[in-house]
Structure 1
């Protein structure tokens, strides 16, 4: 449903928010490792998130990425999705047709329209603080457990 960049952006934002709540800034290497993303790709995603005011970047010794305690409470998941993927997910066709509408629907148009509505509602209501809190509690995870370790 989301692009790979958007998935990484959401995971990176949650990871950074969990660290920021402890007063810790994280570097690009740590972010990339935690979200299991290639470093150069992660750097591009972080640029987008910083440019859109979701993440703050500090340069120099002790620098890194962080989210202020005020911002983490107000940032909604929809802001991260819109910054990376835009709003096509709320209006695009479920099977990728260029033209899909009420007058000319694709085979899944009506059901997908309901799903898009629920997705939009979830993205609009969910804060970065909620997601970070869920991860900090240990009830939810940002990456798959590697059973080969």
Structure 2
């Protein structure tokens, strides 16, 4: 997520950002991050170009995508439907000990991720209201 936000933040002017810079700025191993970003690029969440002026960027269409799309692309939709204890048989009819309370939290998280776009987050980041680095 931080890498996507960093890319959005750095490419609002139409520029591209390289993997070395992204990895350094989000404190992630370059090789690991490259695989993730390639996957997100294949799924259309971010864009990339090769060559001397290449790198990663985010287009206007991708800025309109909800944050949930990033989660789903990388981890599937378990965060939106899964059990708080990781049980496969947890349901309304067969609830785990955390079911009722976890369902509330999961639904709130789902709403936030589904209704907040990459672009909305980026506006707050560009305005200086948010930060991607720990201080």
Q: Does 1:110 align with 2:95?
A: no
Picking from 20, 23, 32, the partner of 2:23 is 32
Structure 2 distance, partners of 1:131, 1:123, is 11
Q: Aligned ranges for residues 49-128 of structure 1 at < 5 Å?
A: 49-72=40-63, 74-128=64-118
TM superposition shift of 1:22: 2.1
Structure 2 distance, partners of 1:70, 1:138, is 23
TM superposition shift of 1:48: 1.3
- Partner deviation per Cα, 1:48-101 (whole Å, 9 max, x = no partner): 1101101111000110000113431x1110111100010011111101223211
Normalising by structure 1, we get a TM-score of: 0.86
Report the count of equivalent residues. Answer: 135
What's 2:121 paired with? 131
Unpaired runs of 5+ residues, structure 2, are: none
Unpaired runs of 5+ residues, structure 1, are: 1-9
Question: Runs ≥4 in structure 1, deviation > 2 angstroms?
Answer: none
What's 1:22 paired with? 13
